[in-house]
């Protein structure tokens, strides 16, 4: 019986004579080695899990959950993130790589370099940078050749969040447009009979620039943009400028009010924001306030995990007595994604109107001091998910004062989701339907 020349031989290609055009060797040794490596790689985390070893959160985000089968193709695209986060030995591997890089090359492993978006170090931080326009001051500069760095390693062990510079130089929106939108929100709030306060929390690189390295991505552009942008915050955006208050606090305590390895201000900064907002609403109200140091405490720092390391920061905790007698500092809030309410006795030395602080992680870190100066306080993150819009609208409607706090870098970069047209239109409609009598 003749064999069809178009039909493949009925044997494995490795069994064909070596001279045959379709002969393919099995490469048995290499295949076996690859299979063993794959088995070790995938089985070891499973065995570690069985014996109680669990992966840790090393980059200040929750571990990625197993993707849902209902997500369609999203199930397959979600597997790499889940698999990466579930490697129980990942922290040790990153620390080993960092140690080798520092030992051989004198610098950390370049795991955070690239042209990708700058991620925020804490929940409530800004969404990724999407702009690509280069600032004129960077034209012809070589400072950005290495791409963006999430963390800039400065002098004397100081760390800075790379987005401080990136967002100034690659904004998603022009600053003028962002501030116009903020004024639209202000007008909607004030037209309804409520008070509005816009406060900008300075970047650490703005307040403590002396430890920045001699060269880093977007250095020239960011330094050139800083002072003009602050003038624009105040003149066009009518924002509270916290820089003088923070400098005064630094002089008073004898050290910067930002930690070397964290992007947020310390307790002194939180107290200064509480004073500044209260004074803007009722001048002179904070004159009797008394703040006294109580103790030092140590918590995790937010920048080292972005480099694959763990570290702590030490801050000073204060009492804050508006009447000079009773300490009204509260407990830190646990869940910033849901409204948090703090109420206390109304005093002549406190703001007693229902006040909403709609802010980011700087508000989150300041909440326990804010409740000392505001007797009827509600706090909510401004980085709400789209489905949480009604929650934010409801809190604005119930408030008599709306305070919007945003860190300098997100205002510079235009990364404020509550200033989108759909959000602003909903706010205007809701507040117009519920004016204060």
Confidence of residue 157 (pLDDT cuts 50, 70, 90): very high
pTM, 2 dp: 0.72
The CA radius of gyration of the chain, in Å to the nearest whole number, is 27
The per-residue pLDDT for range 101-153, each reduced to its tens digit, is: 444 434 454 455 443 333 345 433 433 333 333 333 333 333 443 445 789 99
The rounded distance, in Å, linking the Cα atoms of 65 and 78 is: 9
Beta-carbon contacts of residue 145 (< 8 Å; ≥ 6 apart):
none
Q: What is the greatest pairwise CA distance in the chain?
A: 108
CB distance 128 to 118 below 8 Å? yes
Burial string for 113-145 (b: 16+ CB within 10 Å, else e) reads: eeeebbbbbbbbbbeebebeeebebbeebebbe
Beta-carbon contacts of residue 59 (< 8 Å; ≥ 6 apart):
305, 306, 308
- pLDDT at position 33, please? 76
The rounded distance, in Å, linking the Cα atoms of 386 and 76 is: 25
- pLDDT at position 390, please? 82
The rounded distance, in Å, linking the Cα atoms of 149 and 111 is: 9
CB distance 419 to 379 below 8 Å? no
- pLDDT at position 143, please? 44
- pLDDT at position 381, please? 87
Confidence of residue 308 (pLDDT cuts 50, 70, 90): confident
The per-residue pLDDT for range 3-23, each reduced to its tens digit, is: 555 565 566 666 777 777 666
The rounded distance, in Å, linking the Cα atoms of 162 and 150 is: 5
Token digits for 336? Answer: 């910033």
How far is CA 281 from each of CA 49, 70, 342, 349, 418, rounded to the nearest angstrom?
Answer: 55, 50, 19, 12, 23
| Helical axes 175-191 vs 219-235, angle rounded to 10° | 30
Which comes out higher in pLDDT, residue 2 or 290?
290
The rounded distance, in Å, linking the Cα atoms of 347 and 372 is: 10
Residue 45 has φ and ψ, to the nearest 5°, of -60, -35
Confidence of residue 398 (pLDDT cuts 50, 70, 90): very high
The rounded distance, in Å, linking the Cα atoms of 200 and 226 is: 13
CB distance 244 to 257 below 8 Å? no
């Amino acid at each position: 019986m003749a064999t069809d020349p178009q039909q493949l031989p009925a044997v494995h290609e490795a069994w064909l004579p070596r001279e045959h055009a379709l002969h393919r060797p099995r490469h048995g040794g290499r295949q076996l080695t690859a299979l063993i490596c794959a088995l070790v790689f995938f089985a070891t985390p499973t065995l570690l899990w069985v014996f109680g070893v669990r992966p840790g959160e090393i980059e200040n985000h929750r571990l990625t959950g197993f993707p849902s089968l209902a997500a369609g193709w999203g199930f397959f695209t979600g597997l790499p993130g889940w698999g990466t986060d579930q490697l129980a030995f990942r922290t040790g591997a990153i620390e080993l790589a960092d140690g080798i890089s520092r030992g051989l090359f004198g610098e950390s492993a370049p795991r955070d370099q690239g042209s990708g978006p700058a991620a925020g170090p804490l929940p409530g931080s800004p969404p990724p940078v999407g702009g690509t326009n280069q600032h004129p001051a960077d034209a012809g500069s070589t400072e950005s050749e290495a791409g963006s760095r999430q963390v800039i390693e400065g002098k004397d062990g100081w760390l800075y969040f790379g987005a401080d510079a990136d967002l100034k130089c690659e904004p998603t929106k022009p600053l003028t447009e962002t501030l116009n939108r903020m004024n639209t929100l202000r007008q909607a709030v004030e037209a309804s009979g409520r008070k509005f306060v816009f406060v900008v929390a300075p970047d650490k690189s703005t307040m403590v620039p002396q430890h920045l390295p001699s060269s880093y991505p977007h250095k020239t552009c960011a330094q050139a943009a800083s002072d003009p942008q602050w003038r624009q915050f105040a003149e066009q955006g009518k924002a509270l400028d916290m820089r003088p208050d923070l400098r005064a606090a630094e002089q008073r305590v004898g050290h910067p009010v930002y930690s070397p390895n964290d992007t947020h201000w310390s307790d002194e900064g939180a107290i200064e924001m509480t004073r500044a907002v209260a004074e803007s609403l009722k001048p002179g109200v904070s004159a009797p306030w008394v703040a006294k140091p109580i103790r030092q405490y140590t918590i995790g720092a937010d920048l080292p995990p972005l480099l694959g390391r763990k570290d702590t920061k030490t801050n000073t905790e204060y009492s804050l007595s508006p009447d000079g007698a009773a300490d009204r500092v509260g407990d830190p809030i646990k869940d910033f994604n849901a409204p948090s309410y703090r109420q206390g006795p109304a005093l002549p030395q406190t703001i007693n109107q229902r006040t909403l602080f709609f802010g980011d992680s700087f508000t989150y870190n300041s909440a326990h001091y804010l409740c000392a100066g505001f007797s009827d306080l509600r706090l909510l993150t401004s980085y709400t998910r789209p489905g949480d819009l009604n929650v934010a609208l409801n809190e604005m409607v119930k408030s008599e004062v709306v305070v919007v706090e945003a860190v300098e870098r997100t205002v510079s970069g235009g990364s404020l989701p509550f200033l989108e047209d759909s959000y602003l239109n909903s706010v205007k409609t809701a507040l117009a339907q519920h004016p204060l009598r």
